[in-house]
C-alpha cells in the first residue's frame, strides 16, 4: 500500500440549528466554501490536482440531496474531472468519507482526494423530511428507529450514569469551549460567509452576506443551573437539552495526498490516518459504540490507550460519552479528552461531525505537540467508529 498523507484539515464554525447564524445559509454553500478554502490554504495545491471528493452527510436529501458530493466540488469551482460521491454512515459519515478518501490514495486509485462532511440540520432535520420506516419491520424492531435521546436515557439508566455526573460533564464541556474560543485556540476554523435575506422597501428580499468566525452555541453553564432543566426524552429520566449535543449546521474538509504527489508538488504532510474501525452494538443503546470501536482500532494499530495524546470523543450525549470514558479506563486521562469542549458546547452536525472532529483533533495535536489522536463517535442504528491519526 502507498503512504497517504493529510495535507490540510479545516472546518466552518458550528452554528445552532434554526436559531444560529447559518440558518439561512444552504448546506451547498457551507460545503463548497470549505472545500475551496481547504485547497486555497494548501501551499502549492490547485483544484486541478484533485481527483475525487468523498462527502459525508447523514440525511442526504432535499437541499443536501441528489449527489451533493458532486455538486459541492462544482460549486467550489473545481474542474469537471474532479469526481465526487456522497457517503452515509450517519454520525460517522464525515469520518467514513476521510477513511474512504485515504484508502483510495493508499490503493493507488487516486493521487489526491478530499474527505469531507456537511450537515445543515436547519434545512434537513434529523430523521429526514419524510421518514418512512418499513411497516412490518419497524413493528417488530422499533429499536432500529428509536429516538437517539431514548438511547441516551437507556445508557444512563442501564449503566448508572447519574444526572449530576452528566450535568458536571456538560458544564465542563461548555467551560473548555468558552476558554478555547476566548484564547483563539480553534485554529482549524475558517471564518465562513453566511447569508440572510433582508426585506427591501419594495417588498423584495436581498441576499446579504456576513462572516461567521465562532461556534455560536457555546453557553457557559453551571452544574446547578443545568440541574434545573427539565428532561426531554423521558419524564423520569436524566437527559436534557443542556447535557445533550446541540443540533447544528456546519461543514469540514480534509485533503489527502500520496507521498509521491507530496514530493512532486511540494505539499507538506501534517498527519496520516493510521487505522479506522467500525463496529456494531445494540441499537437501543447506540451510545456505547466508542467503547467498542476504540479498543478495536487500537488493536488494529498495535497501540494502547496511553499512547494517545488527544481524544475527540463525540459528545452525542453526556450519558454515553461518560459511560464510554469510564469503561475504557480513560478517566485518568480527562486532560486529553475533548480538550476544547465537545458537541454539548460546539454542536454535532451529524454527517459533518467526523470531518469536523478530525480538523479539531489535528489542531489540538499540534497545540499539545502530541503524536497520536483518536476521533470516535457513536452512530444511530447501533454502531461505533474510531480513527487514529498520527501527526507528522
- State the Cα–Cα distance between residues 106 and 124, nearest whole angstrom: 34
Classify residue 120 by its DSSP letter: E
Site for ligand COA in 323-382 (CB under 6 A): 348, 378, 380
* CB of 41 or CB of 219, closer to ligand COA: 219
Maximum Cα interatomic distance, the chain, rounded to a whole number of Å: 66
Where b means 16+ CB within 10 Å and e means fewer, 63-94 reads bbbeebbbbbbebbebeeebbbebbbbbbbbb
Cell 436547519 identifies what position? 122
- State the Cα–Cα distance between residues 376 and 202, nearest whole angstrom: 51
Give least dist CB 219 to ligand COA, A: 4
Residues in the chain: 392
Nearest alpha carbon to residue 7 among 89, 98, 107: 98
130, with CB counted inside 10 A (0-12, 13-18, 19+), is exposed
Query: Of 27-35, 201-209, 221-229, 296-304, which part binds ligand COA (CB under 6 A)?
Result: 221-229
# of chain residues touching ligand COA (CB under 6 A): 19
Out of 26, 70, 219, 259, which residue is the one contacting ligand COA (CB under 6 A)?
219
Site for ligand COA in 24-63 (CB under 6 A): none
Give least dist CB 145 to ligand COA, A: 13
Q: Is 91 known to be catalytic? A: yes
Query: Of 175-183, 242-250, 256-264, 329-337, which part binds ligand COA (CB under 6 A)?
Result: 242-250
Query: Of 63-71, 106-114, 182-190, 223-231, which part binds ligand COA (CB under 6 A)?
Result: 223-231
Beta-carbon contacts of 28 under 8 Å, excluding residues fewer than 6 positions away, are 63, 64, 68, 71, 72, 75
Out of 84, 117, 242, 342, which residue is the one contacting ligand COA (CB under 6 A)?
242
Query: Of 44-52, 187-195, 205-213, 236-244, which part binds ligand COA (CB under 6 A)?
Result: 236-244
Examine residue 277 and tell whether it contacts ligand COA (CB under 6 A): no
Out of 42, 122, 173, 244, which residue is the one contacting ligand COA (CB under 6 A)?
244
Q: Is 214 known to be catalytic? A: no
Helix (H) or strand (E) holding 201: none
Give least dist CB 221 to ligand COA, A: 4
Give least dist CB 285 to ligand COA, A: 12
CB atoms within 10 A of CB 328: 20
* Cα dihedral 169/332/186/73 (nearest 10): -90
Give least dist CB 383 to ligand COA, A: 10
Give least dist CB 382 to ligand COA, A: 11
- Rounded to an integer, what is the distance from CA 220 to the centroid of its chain? 22
- State the Cα–Cα distance between residues 310 and 345, nearest whole angstrom: 18
Q: Is 348 known to be catalytic? A: yes
> Which residue in the list 49, 281, 348, 352 is annotated as catalytic?
348
Is 116 within 8 Å of 8 (Cβ atoms)? no
Positions in the binding site for ligand COA (CB under 6 A): 91, 148-149, 219, 221, 225-226, 229, 232, 241-242, 244-247, 316, 348, 378, 380
Amino acid at each position: 500500500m502507498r503512504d497517504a498523507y493529510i495535507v490540510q484539515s479545516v472546518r466552518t464554525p458550528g452554528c445552532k440549528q434554526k436559531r444560529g447564524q447559518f440558518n439561512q445559509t444552504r448546506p451547498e454553500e457551507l460545503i463548497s466554501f470549505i472545500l475551496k478554502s481547504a485547497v486555497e490554504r494548501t501551499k502549492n495545491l490547485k483544484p486541478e490536482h484533485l481527483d475525487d471528493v468523498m462527502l459525508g452527510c447523514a440525511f442526504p436529501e432535499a437541499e443536501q440531496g441528489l449527489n451533493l458530493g458532486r455538486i459541492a466540488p462544482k460549486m467550489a469551482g473545481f474542474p469537471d474531472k474532479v469526481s465526487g460521491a456522497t457517503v452515509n454512515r450517519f454520525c460517522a459519515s464525515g469520518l467514513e468519507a476521510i477513511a474512504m478518501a485515504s484508502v483510495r490514495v493508499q490503493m493507488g486509485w487516486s493521487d489526491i482526494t478530499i474527505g469531507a462532511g456537511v450537515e445543515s440540520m436547519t434545512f434537513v432535520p434529523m430523521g429526514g423530511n419524510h421518514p418512512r420506516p418499513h411497516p412490518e419491520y419497524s413493528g417488530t424492531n422499533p429499536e432500529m428507529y428509536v429516538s437517539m435521546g431514548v438511547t441516551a436515557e437507556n445508557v444512563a439508566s442501564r449503566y448508572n450514569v447519574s444526572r449530576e455526573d452528566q450535568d458536571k460533564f456538560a458544564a465542563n464541556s461548555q467551560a473548555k469551549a468558552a476558554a478555547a474560543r476566548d484564547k483563539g485556540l480553534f485554529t482549524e476554523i475558517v471564518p465562513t460567509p453566511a447569508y440572510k435575506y433582508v426585506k427591501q422597501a419594495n417588498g423584495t428580499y436581498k441576499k446579504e452576506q456576513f462572516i461567521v468566525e465562532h461556534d455560536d452555541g457555546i453557553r457557559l453553564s453551571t452544574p446547578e443551573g443545568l440541574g434545573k432543566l427539565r428532561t426531554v426524552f423521558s419524564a423520569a429520566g436524566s437527559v436534557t437539552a443542556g447535557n445533550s449535543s446541540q443540533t447544528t449546521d456546519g461543514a469540514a474538509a480534509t485533503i489527502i495526498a500520496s507521498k509521491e504527489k507530496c514530493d512532486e508538488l511540494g505539499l507538506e504532510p501534517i498527519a496520516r490516518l493510521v487505522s479506522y474501525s467500525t463496529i456494531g452494538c445494540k441499537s437501543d443503546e447506540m451510545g456505547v459504540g466508542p467503547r467498542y470501536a476504540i479498543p478495536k482500532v487500537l488493536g488494529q494499530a498495535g497501540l494502547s490507550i496511553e499512547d494517545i495524546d488527544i481524544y475527540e470523543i463525540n459528545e452525542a450525549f453526556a450519558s454515553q460519552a461518560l459511560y464510554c470514558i469510564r469503561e475504557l479506563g480513560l478517566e485518568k486521562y480527562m486532560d486529553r479528552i475533548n480538550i476544547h469542549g465537545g458537541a454539548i458546547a460546539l454542536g454535532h452536525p451529524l454527517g459533518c461531525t467526523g470531518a469536523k472532529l478530525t480538523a479539531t483533533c489535528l489542531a489540538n495535536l499540534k497545540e499539545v505537540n502530541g503524536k497520536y489522536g483518536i476521533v470516535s463517535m457513536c452512530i444511530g442504528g447501533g454502531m461505533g467508529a474510531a480513527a487514529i491519526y498520527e501527526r507528522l
